[in-house]
Amino acid sequence: MADSNNIKTVTDANFQSEIADNGGLSMVDFWASWCGPCRLIAPFVEQLADEYAGKVTVGKLDVDANQRTAAQFGVRSIPTVLFFKDGKLVDQVVGAVPKPALDRKIQEHLAA
């Protein structure tokens, strides 16, 4: 799934401990293996995970295997990247976007 050691595999079972209880900024990529646009942004997510290691928690959640969490946050279209600050949902990006768009969101929420 992810080539970066800085990406956490997020599931229905560990979402609370990995993201909701996490202080600071988290970015979670909601994806599926069959989704072409998800594969398109995956390298960007991995690069950002490496660039912001120690500053931002980055996770990937497979929506096919973890439908409860996807439904909890109203994820109906993938890829969807959700941003959490101190465990609270603060922003989202839907669709395949270029890396700078995700980077801007990270910068915006790190500065807030």
Residues designated as active site: 35, 38
Provide the residue type at 38 as one letter. Answer: C
Is the distance from CB of 58 to CB of 18 less than 8 angstroms?
no
What one-character DSSP code corresponds to residue 14?
T
φ/ψ of residue 70, rounded to 5: -60, -45
Instruction: Report CA 86 to chain centroid distance, whole Å.
Output: 14
CA 30 to CA 84: how far, in whole Å?
A: 13
DSSP H or E run through 100 = helix 99-111
